[in-house]
Structure 1
């Protein structure tokens, strides 16, 4: 694992020259906010950067840092091989040695159809370009399907950590259902040289209990083989939409996160919360008034912090998803999401469509700007 001393700065500068990035944007150690980040935050700059959280005290969190693997992971029951792979994941790319991660996920060819995903930029029908984008964008890892990563595994598995997604909702079965099915085995991911396996559970769906059992067993086996585990903790139930869409409420997504870490996911992927009060609106399940009066507020950083708290107070890292591509606003949206995640105590961003649904040079720039947020020490934990 790399530590951010002078040697690490030299290593990062060298790596940036290789990948054509400009580390000067990040203001490492300068204590001064990057002008480009301020510009992208626009009218939200003061709202996001000056917020002081009075909900869950940051002192209670296990925060990311150069020593995260030693300080947190090594306290767990993970075997040494899993620790090694997590150290490799946290030690790769532009964010190496910071305790933060930037991951490129491209499984949308299954989840949203290849046409919908790659028509805006057909070069990404070729799996090699997906891996190249992650490498040239200086990501910690590339997350994709058995097919994509297997197609170029011998060329790249030793050059960038592979995160193999082992289940999917293929969206060609009609009518559609909220289900995730296994597309391959944990052993196949291991043979490929994967650093980690990833899976999705649609919490709240009719098939969720079967998915929980399948993924829990798969994660246990992955840990036995020495791979890390990442869980997409998504909600899927039509009744979660009432007066608003509570699939992204802080309380419901927080509980999904808590279920995810219970089956020993090392990293949780979750959508950024956009509202709160899902339990009360749906009138289902159990919660406490303190969740809304003391542990959260309406501020997006406090809502995200509740997600972090449900990841065992940060012992399992929370990475938020970048969301769908919206066009010209993608860069600003990605930077805002990164600021919210970082200031809440999260571990990074996993952003796909915003990066690969545009020319590669623009995708690289977007990934680098996300990384700039985590490298900028003037952006502190709220």
Structure 2
């Protein structure tokens, strides 16, 4: 925030940031901007002319958002993004966008239409994700699934399905014949990679794996494949195929099997993963076990020993991620993590550094310094964001 940082990636792309702009170079591209006039030219020749809080991401996996923006981006697929008032649109490949008080319209390769009314969000083609608030939007996907939304209902069609709902009675019938009958803020995701959340909900969903999701007050459970769920003031219990147990106490979140992700607030939950990693959480600590590891912590003294022997000693809102795709953030933290690559992460007040693989980090008023395998240097000054490699 209020940064003039500059980073030169291996691809020679330039990131000249003005006031709260964030730019990520090469490979998986993600950046955001607030009150920014930044300009970035990606290898694909896509242009990102941003006006007031617009965010645009170029190439590969495309994701961008915009607030009160008139930005325009032409993706290789020829999709158009004409944004009005807080609309968010993502072009090509993995498509994700949302809109608030927007009348944007996007025609994807699949011919799906996105006519948005007040805070509706619709995502076209490939991996579909969208949400809606106070919306009557309607979208017809290639699978013939219908999305009739009533007040803050969110439904995602085809492929990887993700949706949420608040005060909604929406109903969606997926190809697998799974039913999603939602009651007040329940969220259920059908087929493939399953993710859903629930608040004050008694919804029930029977997945193909026969796993049961009996939710009580703000519990969230995700079934099959890549499992992700969260819980607030919940006593839900879920038994996964791996026999892992999830006994949750007040705002604890635990994810079972495959790529594990969970968070916890004021929780004493304990989970033993197949790798034998231990997660002893104290007040708002978050720890993720095995595979793709991600966790965060707030005012936590948690400690986790991963298969790589990396240590995570957290102090005051530090976040550290172990192994595989690494991502973590820290606020008012003195945490230290030694990754297999020997990279050091000495964090000072709200610095964020990511080690190995796909590197992404941000920093707010930090003086952190990280030397990646690529030899790129990250000298951060006041809320600069820089991404290394790929």
Higher relative contact order (CA 8 A, sep 6+): 1
TM-score by length of 2: 0.30
Q: Which has the larger radius of gyration?
A: 2
TM-score by length of 1: 0.31
Q: Which has the higher helix share?
A: 1
